[in-house]
Amino acid sequence: MDRLDNTIRPYAWGSPTAIPRLLGVEPTGEPQAEMWMGAHPGAPSRTPRGPLVEVIEADPERELGARAVARFGPRLPFLLKLLAAGAPLSLQVHPDLEQARAGYADEERRGVPADAPHRNYKDANHKPELICALTEFDGLCGFRDPVQAAGLLDGLGVDSLKPYVDLLHAHPEDAALREVLTAVLTADPEDMAHTVAEATAACTRLGGAYAPYADIAHHYPGDPGVIAAMLLNHVRLQPGEALYLGAGIPHAYLNGLGVEIMANSDNVLRCGLTPKHVDVPELLRIVRFAPSDPGVLRPEASPEGEEVYETPTDEFRLSRYVLPEGGTARDLTRDTPQILLCTSGTVRAGEHELGPGQSVFVPAGEPAEISGAGTIFRATVVA
């Protein structure tokens, strides 16, 4: 079992205080958006044996176990993060596995540089993900019912939004959503900036259900993503609740601290709320244009005290243990790799004492006993 030394990514949307508060350290004044735990080449965790990516590459079967290597190949299939949003992240979708493989192969064949700002596919993997709230957490997830979206837009009283309102009342629903999102993202930038400014003023004045969009517009004035965001469900998670984001589901995180786990991929197609490249034709090919319930997840408890967040994805499995003062030790030994992350209290994992924000990597088959009083998240795979 190896204690992990993890990299914090200073993305501009990050909260300057949430991760330092969890870690019990002084803020630096700079945004601290994500703490990465895993073997992603971009920021692999460091261990006493070297960077985790190199430790795994040296002996994949020993570190990951034969079943995981046979199923997912000789690499850690997931990336675990602490995510602290102080401002909205870009509105985005992720491809499914077939789309990712085809898109990556196409850009490789066309010689698109790996670091090109207009490159869509950084790898050939899909990127399902799960976010579990540690604090109250706001996000956008999946399309609203088109009639409900029409009512929200119509309530702003902005004349230039009336055509979108009319389109949203058309049938079939998927065609209506596709047509409106296409129109928003391809509108004349100057005209759209004026529409967004009017919509922002109305959202600020009306408050209530419009308040999240006023805040989004404050961070991204004039961005067409402000209007696109109003097509989506707004969700407020309470601590312990989670969202699962599958392929093609438009989403954005707005504010809060959470534990995020995902398949080990960087593939993102953006819809707005970003200065980065937006490939509208490719985006429209990937997005699933169907209204959906956000599907807030709550953990399912086992008799052993493990609370599991069930998803259809095999590359990761996230669960948590809430250990009471004076409780018995729990044996977490598995024949698959694990990362254990403490988020409250003090938990002993093997020979390591973990406080909030501290984590360990447990190779497949290594003994993994936890005890103490606190909360620990367990990341592994389904193999």
DSSP letter at 160?
A: G
Locate 313 and state its tokens: 């994805």
Locate 210 and state its tokens: 């419009």
Diameter over CA atoms, the chain? 65
Q: Is 273 helix (H, G, I), strand (E, B) or coil?
A: coil
By annotation, the residues acting in catalysis are: 270
CA–CA distance, 171 with 168 (Å, rounded to integer): 8
- Residue ranges with strand state E in 99-225: 129-133, 137-143
3-state helix vs strand vs coil in the chain, percent to 5: 30, 30, 40
Contacts of 267 (CB under 8 A, 6+ apart): 94, 95, 100, 103, 104, 120, 121, 122, 123, 125, 126, 127
Alpha helices, DSSP H only, in 207-262?
211-219, 225-229
CA–CA distance, 79 with 336 (Å, rounded to integer): 15
CA–CA distance, 119 with 37 (Å, rounded to integer): 25
CA–CA distance, 86 with 17 (Å, rounded to integer): 9
Q: Label residue 161 exposed, middle or buried (CB < 10 Å: 0-12, 13-18, 19+).
A: buried
- Straight-line distance from the first to the last Cα atom of the chain, in angstroms, rounded to the nearest whole number: 20
Q: Label residue 227 exposed, middle or buried (CB < 10 Å: 0-12, 13-18, 19+).
A: buried
- For residue 248, which phi and psi values (nearest 5 degrees)? 80, 0
Locate 326 and state its tokens: 């004076």
Chain length of the chain = 383
